[in-house]
């Protein structure tokens, strides 16, 4: 197998600047190998191209993921708005002690969304879309922390319903996980778009 035959399927799914970066590293390695008297078979040197591609996908995002489905962010916005207005609608029916938490929730979401938009305003479109989508999903999680079902039913449940009791903890874990994945995904986007200078951005 020639070097190009090995490399083409390995790098094909990644954006062009990353493809060039990967090709130059593998080509340099291959040249050193030939200079040292190694055999020309690229597969014998580098191993299974599918395995290498799988490992690279742990570090970088594919072009398909970067482009994403254009309607995902609208679905997330729609579900967030539904949950938000549901909380707003139920606000007057909440017991007095729950008003503070529900109000906190209702204020936190628009402030969080405004921060997300402002922070990502001048970003590269694919980076902007992924960060906003994950950010909105995380904000959606905050709405579940103080959902009315938890406030209306503070008494112990029986059977599998005990999971509902844990709802705030699931939601808090979800928010922490969401914030982590926002920034982890953003780092992968930056690495993918600029494999050499990403850490300076």
Interacting residue ranges for another protein, rule: CB under 8 A: 6, 10, 22, 24-26, 28-29, 31-33, 36, 45-49, 51-52, 55-56, 58-60, 187-188, 191, 195
- 30 vs 144, beta carbon nearer another protein: 30
- 29 vs 174, beta carbon nearer another protein: 29
Q: How far is the CB of 191 from another protein (least distance, A)?
A: 6
Q: How far is the CB of 23 from another protein (least distance, A)?
A: 11
Q: How far is the CB of 47 from another protein (least distance, A)?
A: 4
Tokens of 64: 């398909």
- 33 vs 170, beta carbon nearer another protein: 33
Q: How far is the CB of 145 from another protein (least distance, A)?
A: 31
Tokens of 199: 């850490």
Q: How far is the CB of 12 from another protein (least distance, A)?
A: 15
- Count of residues making up the chain: 201
Q: How far is the CB of 44 from another protein (least distance, A)?
A: 10
C-beta of residue 148 within 8 angstroms of C-beta of residue 91:
no
CA distance 168 to 164: 8
Contacts of 176 (CB under 8 A, 6+ apart): none
- For residue 141, how far is the Cα from the chain centroid? 15
- 101 vs 198, beta carbon nearer another protein: 198
Q: How far is CA 141 from CA 76, 174, 197, in A?
A: 11, 6, 33
Number of DSSP helices (H) and strands (E) in the chain, helices first: 11, 0
CA distance 120 to 18: 23
- 59 vs 201, beta carbon nearer another protein: 59
CA distance 111 to 127: 21
Angle at 141 between CA 138 and CA 142, to 5 degrees: 100
- 15 vs 195, beta carbon nearer another protein: 195
């Amino acid at each position: 197998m020639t070097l190009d035959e090995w490399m083409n399927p390995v790098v094909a799914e990644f954006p062009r600047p990353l493809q060039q970066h990967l090709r130059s590293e593998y080509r340099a390695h291959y040249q050193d190998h030939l200079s040292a008297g190694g055999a020309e078979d690229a597969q014998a040197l580098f191993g299974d191209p599918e395995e290498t591609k799988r490992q690279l996908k742990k570090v970088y995002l594919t072009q398909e993921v970067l482009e994403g489905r254009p309607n995902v962010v609208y679905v997330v916005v729609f579900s967030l708005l539904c949950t938000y207005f549901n909380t707003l609608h139920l606000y007057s029916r909440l017991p007095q002690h729950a008003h503070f938490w529900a109000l906190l929730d209702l204020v936190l979401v628009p402030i969080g969304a405004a921060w997300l938009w402002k922070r990502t305003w001048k970003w590269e479109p694919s980076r902007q879309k992924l960060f906003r989508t994950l950010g909105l999903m995380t904000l959606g999680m905050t709405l579940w922390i103080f959902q009315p079902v938890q406030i209306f039913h503070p008494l112990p449940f029986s059977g599998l319903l005990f999971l509902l009791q844990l709802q705030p903890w699931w939601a808090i874990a979800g928010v922490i996980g969401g914030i982590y994945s926002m920034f982890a995904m953003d780092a992968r986007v930056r690495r993918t778009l600029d494999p050499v200078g990403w850490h300076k951005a």
